[in-house]
Structure 1
Amino acid sequence: MSDSTADFDPEAPEEREVAGEAAGDRSDFLALMGHTYRGELGRTTSWRTRIDRTTNWAVVLVATLLTWAFSGGSRPHYVLLVGVAMVTVFLGIEARRYRVYDIWRSRVRLLEENVFANALDPEGVKQRNWRELLSEDLREPTVKTPLIEAVSRRLQRVYFALISVLIGSWVVRLTVFAESSTGVVETATVGQLSGGVVLASVALYYAVALGLTFWPGRRRAKGELQSRSGRDEWK
């Protein structure tokens, strides 16, 4: 073992606070920010891939169910309602992944806005205390996007369309493929559940999904492509 290694004391103040020296050296600090950016971008890409994977599963599920449900007149209509339930499960999984994804994405955007954008066109930083914000978030990572907003975002992007297709196909299945001797309400019966209860439950579910999709709450997620008038600051 070399003398330099033998003399190393990790508890010594100058060793313990070695990273703090980068704060006073511009070249060291900018090099450190470059490595930080690449690391956070890698995490962001990884979680973006997880979100896309869940979306792919949901799309494949919907396509498979529609193909099967309309491949014959004897197919039970409630299979499409099972598909709605399964898509809702995927929505919940994706909303949770979206909230974690936004942790890393918010750090990437903080660096892009206050370091790289200002280096290209030095008009001033977006947040004057961006170093403090980033430091606090690195020490104590927190979820910044409320669950209701995460659900709303994923409904807007993908899931409301998928749910609408399934429910619309279910309505077509009840009306077009129903026997002439039975009405829509009677055809909608599932087991011991009357058709009226099933129709009311589906209508209530769709109304809730519609309300969540266009939820008017203040935006907290950071970094998505959006119109200039809809931009928010990370606070």
Structure 2
Amino acid sequence: MPEGRSETPDDGPAVDEHVGRGLLDVDMGPSSAMAHLYRGEIHRMKLWRERLDRTTNWAVILMAAVLTWAFSQPSHPHYILLLGNAAVGLFLSIEARRYRAYDVWRSRVRYLQEHVWAPGLDPDSPLRDEDWRSELAEDYRNPTLKISFEEALAHRLRRVYLPLFAVQNGAWLLRVTAFSADPWPESAAVGMISGVAVTAIVVSLFAAAAVIAYRPRTWHTRGELLSEELRENRTGSGPTAGEDERRI
């Protein structure tokens, strides 16, 4: 058995006796270096969180401007709402890329919380991953993206962009039915493209976005707010140790 490790009384996961030693000391030393490392990761995570919020704000402001202009005059064309949809989709792709970078810093913060601070506060708790030091060191040597672009799209669609698309498409449907002199589907036509084709494209794109957002998958992000159990009044011991991936 490696030095500094001991087995739990029930022969469960190993407990590292040295994890957390000195973390809460006031003297300068390794604990101070770990605290500064953790603070640095929190700071980088915060900066990328602000970048995500900034992109969302741009999308909301653009959507509000498009809706205001589209309904301000009956003569204004309805396809401006579809152009607004395309612009919001562009913001979604930018935000998904930023989310992948944000997840790098958030995953490190969660890793430190799970393997350093939690055992430091409760030294008798079992380790979730005995090789966490080497894995974290390798991540610092060679940083890698932890989630795919499709998973990042799903996160942002579920949290922000799918409701925005629903509002935008609902406004477009209202515009081509209740606020048009021509009956539907002729009122939905754009140039040489028939109204039926335009409507089919809009419905297909929204359905594709909903599939990406809600299809069953294994989440690889290490977000602490992903579990549905957080919204319940739990009386048990919580999730099983080592459950890093959430299935929905």
Q: Within 5 Å, which residues of 2 pair with 1:178-189?
A: 178-179=180-181, 182-189=182-189
Q: Could you list the per-position Cα deviations for residues 168-188 of structure 1 after superposition, in whole angstroms to 9, with x for gaps in the alignment?
A: 000000110111xx3211111
2:180 aligned counterpart, secondary structure: coil
Q: Could you list the per-position Cα deviations for residues 25-72 of structure 1 after superposition, in whole angstroms to 9, with x for gaps in the alignment?
A: x65432221111111111111111100000000111111111111112
Displacement of 1:87:
0.4
1:20 aligned residue: none
CA distance in 1, matches of 2:122, 2:164: 42
User: As a proportion of its length, which structure holds more helix?
Assistant: 1
1:127 aligned residue: 129
Q: 2:106 is matched by which residue type in structure 1?
A: R
Displacement of 1:209:
0.8
Which shifted more, 68-77 or 148-157? 68-77
- TM-score in terms of structure 2 length: 0.79
CA distance in 2, matches of 1:164, 1:106: 31
1:65 aligned residue: 66
Q: Could you list the per-position Cα deviations for residues 200-231 of structure 1 after superposition, in whole angstroms to 9, with x for gaps in the alignment?
A: 11111011011011021110011241336597
Which shifted more, 54-63 or 28-37? 28-37
Where do 5+ consecutive residues of structure 2 fail to align? 1-17, 23-28, 231-238
Does residue 1:143 correspond to 2:132, yes or no? no
1:110 aligned residue: 111
User: Percent identity over the alignment?
Assistant: 48
2:219 aligned counterpart, secondary structure: coil
Q: 1:37 is matched by which residue type in structure 2?
A: Y
CA distance in 1, matches of 2:196, 2:222: 43
Q: 2:58 is matched by which residue type in structure 1?
A: W
CA distance in 1, matches of 2:195, 2:81: 15
CA distance in 1, matches of 2:119, 2:72: 58
Number of equivalences:
209
CA distance in 1, matches of 2:78, 2:116: 56
2:244 aligned residue: 233
Q: 2:126 is matched by which residue type in structure 1?
A: G
2:25 aligned residue: none
- TM-score in terms of structure 1 length: 0.83
Does residue 1:41 correspond to 2:42, yes or no? yes
CA distance in 1, matches of 2:177, 2:194: 17
Retained in 2: the 8 A contact 1:115–1:125? no
Does residue 1:198 correspond to 2:198, yes or no? yes
CA distance in 2, matches of 1:228, 1:184: 42
CA distance in 2, matches of 1:228, 1:81: 34
CA distance in 2, matches of 1:85, 1:154: 16
Distance change >3 Å, CA 190–CA 228, structure 1 → 2: closer
Does residue 1:162 correspond to 2:164, yes or no? yes
CA distance in 2, matches of 1:188, 1:74: 14
Displacement of 1:161:
0.3
Q: 1:163 is matched by which residue type in structure 2?
A: F
Q: CA RMSD in A?
A: 2.0
Q: Could you list the per-position Cα deviations for residues 126-145 of structure 1 after superposition, in whole angstroms to 9, with x for gaps in the alignment?
A: 32221111101000000001
Return the index of the structure with the highest Cα Rg: 1
Which 4+ stretches in 1 moved above 3 angstroms? Answer: 26-29, 228-232
CA distance in 2, matches of 1:150, 1:178: 38
CA distance in 1, matches of 2:136, 2:215: 29
